Amino acid sequence: MRTRARAGVVAMGAVVAAITAFTSPAPVSRDGAPTPVDHSATQRAIDAAVRAGVPGITVQTRDTHGVWRTASGVGNRETGAPRGKNDRFRVGSISDTFVATVLLQMEAEKRLSLDDSVERHLPGLVTGNGNDGRRITVRQLLNHTSGLFDYLADKEYGETYLQGDGFLRHRYDTLTPGQRLKVAFSHEPLFAPGARHSFSSTNDVLAALIVEKIAGRPYEDEVRDRIIEPLGLEATSYPGSSVRLPRPSSRGYSKLFPSQPERVDDVTEMNGSQGWGSSDLVSSARDLNRFYGALMRGKLLPPGQLKEMKTTVANPDFPGASYGLGIERFELGCGTVLWYHDGAVPGWLTLAATTEDGRHQLAFDYNADWGAETVLPLVNAEYCTEPAP
């Protein structure tokens, strides 16, 4: 529903304003009971996205009737190999929900408060040009109301690491969190802390650093021990500074050159450190569904912390949506409430969504960073299409 990646290349706000697309009635049988989901409409939406130019799409849904998996298009434009149903891919900002879950677990353990200042855990880090860690709370990092500038929106950073020849030259560079934060703090805040919501990957990096400060070890280890291993997320991992994806996987493609809209580059290889803390996680549709389903069913957080996660602020960039702690809420036109997160990095667009009861999940990935206009129809097809008689 909303993608975040390269300023000027992949939209960082709402991918479309066509909220009216969600107008189909909720699927209900004649006796008033929910009708089993008919995935044929979802398959048609997937195939339509591929016909519109997305190379390939991997999808899995889970509901009370079982698991449905599908893939459409190609995973390799050179060889024509099909997109795999079990592919692993870079999930982008979906990483946020994992980090937020860890911090909320730590809150339940009385190791921090959501109302702690960033300064308390990362003294002296957020400073300069009006940035002040004493005025920003952990909660404001997680719901993106801190006002901190998103380093991805910095023109020089984008030209160096995210666009055109800059990306191709620097895709293998190792970057530290400090390098990216320096870019962010070279700008003044967008607004005073708490004034409004505005997504910023700078918040994500700081949240991961707070996990490390409290735990005294890499944040990746905390996510692995608290979430990945207990849920059996066998396809989920952190790449570190590796540039390759674990198999099975497809190739990822990008339109790096806005002035050459027909040019497509293979961007599969990219140093994972460039997304540390904000977009470095690698996963699969199956694992994302398992994670979000467990989260909404209270398997990962006590009731109090889950309530905190689901306490939202309005998202002015996407009318009708509101953002909680590492997760977003949206009510479809058919009445279904979704909790979701999306993610975008060069070569990949991903979305994972679940109903509020955690009983109907949808996760899918495009092996391209374009085609965002086809995302809403796909979600609508899964959750709001009347089954054929």
Q: Mean pLDDT in the chain?
A: 91
Which residues are within 8 A (CB) of 338 and not within 5 positions of it... i.e. 6 or more apart? 329, 330, 331, 332, 353, 354, 355, 356, 379, 383
C-alpha 266: how far from chain center? 21
- Amino acid letter for position 292: Y
Residue whose tokens read 């040019």: 263
Burial class of residue 31, CB neighbours in 10 A (0-12, 13-18, 19+)? exposed
From the list 310, 312, 334, the residue with the least C-alpha distance to 323 is 312
DSSP states of 167-195: HHHHTT----HHHHHHHHHTS--SS-TTS
pLDDT at 3: 41
pTM higher than 0.95: no
Give the tens place of pLDDT for each residue, 99-140: 999 999 999 999 999 999 999 999 999 999 999 999 999 999
Across 20-29, 120-129, 373-382, least confident range: 20-29
What's the pLDDT tens digit per position in 144-178?
999 999 999 999 999 999 999 999 999 999 999 99
Evaluate if residue 382 carries a pLDDT over 60: yes
Q: N- to C-terminal Cα distance for the chain? A: 29
State the pLDDT at residue 38: 74
